[in-house]
Amino acid sequence: MTSTTLKYKSQAVAKYYFIAALALFTAQIVFGLGLGLQYVIGDFLFPYIPFNQARMVHTNLLIVWLLFGFMGSAYYLVPEEAETELYSPKLALALFWIFLVAGAVTIIGYLAVPYAKLAELTGNDLLQTMGREFLEQPLPTKLGIVVVCLGFMFNISMTVLKGRKTSISLVLLLGLWGLTIMFLFSFVNPHNLVRDKMYWWFVVHLWVEGTWELILGALLAFVLIKTTGVDREVIDKWLYVIVAFALMTGILGTGHHFYFIGLPGYWHWVGSVFSAMEPIPFFMMTVFAFNMVQRRRREHPNQAALLWAVGTSVVGFLGAGLWGFIHTLSAVNYYTHGTQVTAAHGHLAFYGAYVLVVLAMISYSMPTLRGRIANSQKAQNAEMWSFWIMTIGMGVMVLALTGAGTVQIWLQRMPTENAMGFMATQDQLRFFYWTRMAGGVMFLAGLITYLCSFFIGGEPVVEKSSVGSGNLSQALRGA
């Protein structure tokens, strides 16, 4: 078997983060299926795991496993970009165990203790930070996240400072620091509901439609450089333009969350205009990825990683761009806000923009972390099948949720007289919810296929000679 060694030994710490990320990802999908069943079988798992607890676990696992994925990606990427060992591998490992244990204890707390009691036990009366969607974590957990993030940022920043500075590492560093700083607003919980929602969106929106987009751009650029061999200067130019548009549209695009929470009316215009521009950076990422594949100078043996990278740009544009644009204008959002249309956008956007880029990094780096350039062709075939199964499964879910949201708007939101009540409307959506369950089961099957690909042996694929342009279809097939 052809083997390889890591360029820098300290990159090996990324393996711990990637394994934890995949385990938590699996748990998130299992809880998601449970939630889907609770939509159609109201007393499913009740009273053992009520809907509110399952939803907390599902959404918190999404955030935590993506953070594990980002951290693992940074620990793998930064030493190669900086051309130096990680500043402190021991600190990276210590923070891994702190984060994992804190996350596990928090999830157990959600499931084992009523939420009000959990707030009482964890000192929420000292600093009230609990009770908000996505930020339900108890005060000790939030403090632990800050400690982990600051320690992580110190480690990464010191590594970049002592080594080579590249556009990829600097954009990644900017995104990670933004993520860390924006999380501090989770400790701000004013009694004024308008201010509370405004600060809440400073975390949620400026993460997923701001700083996380910088992380996405940096990771995608890294994978494309490694798998295509395109000149770094070309990719750097694309990266700078994408980052500029992401920041411009993402920061002011926060206004689409300010429409109806009590802020001044001018946010209707600011939010609508700049939110309508938010698909631009995602469309640029799509053009960027396809352009790099067409111009590639090498036929990298890890074709599965290239498929994940191209899939990131395409599905990210569909979910964050197209499905976001569908209901981002204030006149439309007036009817769609909080309906299943929002859920459809959220699922496809997270999957396309962040799940896929983390899986692209894992797909590229895990073979080298296991001592090989690329997995065997059989393993890669299974991995590429998993991409299509998960993506089609997600597509079924999103189309079902979009259909459900459309009917929900028609029956509940649009009528000016005799509008149907919420629960009566939900009864009319059962077909869509069962269809969503089918998509969810398909998605889980794809994830299991992906995990199984790690255990498929065989001789690793050997790198072929450099190729010219015009082989995009071959790359997408993974041939």
CB-based contact 372:305 (threshold 8 Å): no
CB-based contact 196:190 (threshold 8 Å): yes
Q: Which amino acid is at 450?
A: Y
Cα separation, 227 vs 72, whole angstroms: 19
Kindly give, in sequence order, each residue whose CB lies less than 8 Å from that of residue 62, ignoring residues fewer than 6 positions away.
Answer: 28, 350
81, 103, 104: which is closest to 7 by C-alpha?
A: 81
Cα separation, 338 vs 15, whole angstroms: 38
Cα separation, 79 vs 92, whole angstroms: 13
Cα dihedral: 386, 392, 394, 396 (round 10): -150
Residues 97, 101, 107, 108, CA torsion sign: positive
In this prediction, residue 463 carries a pLDDT of 59
In this prediction, residue 296 carries a pLDDT of 81
In this prediction, residue 91 carries a pLDDT of 97
**Structure token pair of residue 46:** 């009740």
Count of CB atoms situated within 10 Å of the CB of 415: 10
CB-based contact 182:206 (threshold 8 Å): yes
In this prediction, residue 2 carries a pLDDT of 47
Cα separation, 384 vs 380, whole angstroms: 6
CB-based contact 144:99 (threshold 8 Å): yes
CB-based contact 349:324 (threshold 8 Å): yes
Residue 343 CA neighbour count, 13 Å, CB half: 21
> CA 477 from chain center: how many Å?
24
Could you write out the three-class secondary structure of the chain? CCCCCCCCHHHHHHHHHHHHHHHHHHHHHHHHHHHHHHHHCCCCCCCCCCHHHHHHHHHHHHHHHHHHHHHHHHHHHHHHHHCCCCCCHHHHHHHHHHHHHHHHHHHHHHHHCCHHHHHHHCCCCCCCCCCCCCCCCCHHHHHHHHHHHHHHHHHHHHHHHHCCCCHHHHHHHHHHHHHHHHHHHHHCCCCCHHHHHHHHHHHHHHHHHHHHHHHHHHHHHHHHHHHHCCCHHHHHHHHHHHHHHHHHHHHHHHHHHCCCCCCCCHHHHHHHHHHHCCHHHHHHHHHHHHHHHHCCCCECCCHHHHHHHHHHHHHHHHHHHHHHHHCCCHHHHHHHCCCHHHHHHHHHHHHHHHHHHHHHHHHHHHHHHCCCCCCEHHHHHHHHHHHHHHHHHHHHHHHHHHHHHHHHHHHHHCCCCCCCCHHHHHHCCHHHHHHHHHHHHHHHHHHHHHHHHHHCCCCECCCECCCCCCCHHHHHHCC
pLDDT tens, the chain, 479 aa long: 445 668 899 999 999 999 999 999 999 999 999 999 999 998 999 999 999 999 999 999 999 999 999 999 999 999 999 999 999 999 999 999 999 999 999 999 999 999 999 999 999 999 999 999 899 999 999 999 999 999 999 999 999 999 999 999 999 999 999 999 999 999 998 989 999 999 999 999 999 998 999 999 999 999 999 998 888 888 888 899 999 999 999 999 999 999 999 999 999 999 999 999 999 999 999 998 998 888 887 788 999 999 999 999 999 999 999 999 999 999 999 999 999 999 999 999 999 999 999 999 999 999 999 988 889 999 999 999 999 999 999 999 999 999 999 999 999 999 989 999 999 999 999 999 999 999 999 999 999 999 999 998 877 766 554 444 444 444 444 43
Cα separation, 180 vs 178, whole angstroms: 5
Cα separation, 304 vs 381, whole angstroms: 8
181-230 confidence digits (pLDDT tens): 999 999 998 989 999 999 999 999 999 998 999 999 999 999 999 998 88
